[in-house]
Amino acid sequence: MSGEPAVSVVIPVFNRAALLPEAIDSVVAQTLPDHEIIVVDDGSTDDIAAIVRPYGDRVRYLRTTHGGVAHARNVGVGAARGRYLTCLDSDDRLYPYALELQVRLLDRYPEAAFVCAEMSGFDDHGFFERYHLQQYHQSAYRHRDITYARIFARSLPLADAVPVPERLRLDDPHAGARRVHLGNVFDTYLLHLVISQNTVVMRREVALEAGLRNPRVRHWQEVDYLFRITRRHPICFVDVPTYQLRYHDAQESGGSGAAGTFRWMRKQQILLRVVRRHALADADYYRAHRPAIDHQLAHLHRAAAVPMLLQPPRASAPRRYRRCAVGHLRRAAAYGHPSRLLELAALMPSPLRHVAVRSLQSLRQWRWTAQAWLRPRQAVFA
């Protein structure tokens, strides 16, 4: 492909030769032909090159030493030629109309740094949910005040914003009535994960301004990256799914047992650090939003403490985990939101502590579920 394509699709991959063809095929099948595909092999030990080779010049293949997904995305974005950039995980898929729709919206709204969208969830055992974003980010959307109408400054029907792609109309004849939302979301996004970073298609100049993703932020590098962008720019959100998120056992974010609990603990620690760094980066901003930020930091300190309290007795340095958990709970109290029952559970011996913490978590989940059922369902789409 010569010249500048409309969109560069970067697919970082590490040891997913079995799933990669579905990701690539979903881009090849796009109704917008003006795109390029860049597969970045992040030091895989399976033969990714053999998977890519049959696609010929439709796919550019880059291989790098293993440095993690943020590193691989940086490599791919650095090689991209498109006016717009997006990243597709190697185990996921795009809807055929995704690029056409999001490019139309970026062309229509030059003030928006990027366009993000709804997404679907699926697995290989029959599960499929077309509108999955609010389930995926249910911890955010359980709050009554988290609605699209309140997050964004303005909205309009999709059909009034841009021509609806014909393939989207075939998938959903009523898609034109779904809404396009525009506005600044940093205040909300800092406190609640209300958008899916997987669905983002952004302008090249915005990516250059934001700089590289931080490869040391292992689990939340895209959230960290989008915090930098949303602090300075408005965005566009379209309430139509463009991305299909696959659930499977080999996901880096998944896992059960001791390994899963440890991964959960690491993810919560990293999310706390990312949010805290961005929340406190601007002293004036922190003073203006202190009650909400303190509440969120207290919540994240509690969330970091829970998997520490659930580490199995055979885990290395279990006493250190408990001491760290108590430290997080004390910091939550310092922010004005103590967790007395969790503090009490932290003093219990290991088997009893696990029962107490899991019971408290279950009670919390039941309360969230009850709140969700009592909440007017249509308010989310207002």
Amino acid 163: pLDDT: 98
Strand, coil or helix: 9: strand
> What pLDDT shows up at residue 281?
95
DSSP 76-139: HHHH---SEEEE--TT-EE-TTHHHHHHHHHHH-TT-SEEEEEEEEEETTS-EESS-HHHHTHH
pLDDT in tens, 66-80: 999 999 999 999 999
Element (H, E) at 221: helix 221-230
Q: Which amino acid is at 61?
A: Y
CA-derived radius of gyration, the chain: 22
Predicted TM-score (pTM) of the model is: 0.90
3-state secondary structure of 173: coil
The pLDDT score that the predictor gives to residue 86 is 98
**DSSP class of 336:** T
* Predicted local confidence at residue 363, as pLDDT: 83
CA distance 239 to 134: 11
Q: For position 88, what pLDDT does the model report?
A: 98
Low-confidence ranges of the chain (pLDDT < 70): 1-2, 250-258, 313-318, 368-382
Nearest alpha carbon to residue 226 among 184, 265, 264, 267? 184
Q: Tell the CATH topology of 7-247.
A: Spore Coat Polysaccharide Biosynthesis Protein SpsA; Chain A (3.90.550)
- What is the 3-class SS of 124-170, one letter each residue? CCCCEECCCHHHHCHHHHCCCCCCHHHHCCEEEEHHHHCCCCHHHHH
pLDDT at residue 254, rounded to an integer = 52
What pLDDT is stored for residue 72 in this prediction? Answer: 97
- Structure tokens that stand for 92 in this block: 């996921």
pLDDT, tens only, 185-195: 999 999 999 99
Give the angle 352-353-354 at the CA atoms, nearest 5°: 90
Q: Tens of pLDDT along 283-333?
A: 999 999 999 999 999 999 999 999 999 887 665 556 788 889 999 999 999
- The pLDDT assigned to 192 comes to 95
DSSP secondary structure of 250-305: T-TT---HHHHHHHHHHHHHHHHHHHHHHHSS-HHHHHHTHHHHHHHHHHHHHHHH
**CA distances (Å), 120 to each of 74, 194, 244, 371, in order?**
26, 15, 5, 24
Which residues touch 281 (CB under 8 Å, ≥6 apart)? none
User: Measured between alpha carbons, how far is 287 from 139 in angstroms, rounded to an integer?
Assistant: 25
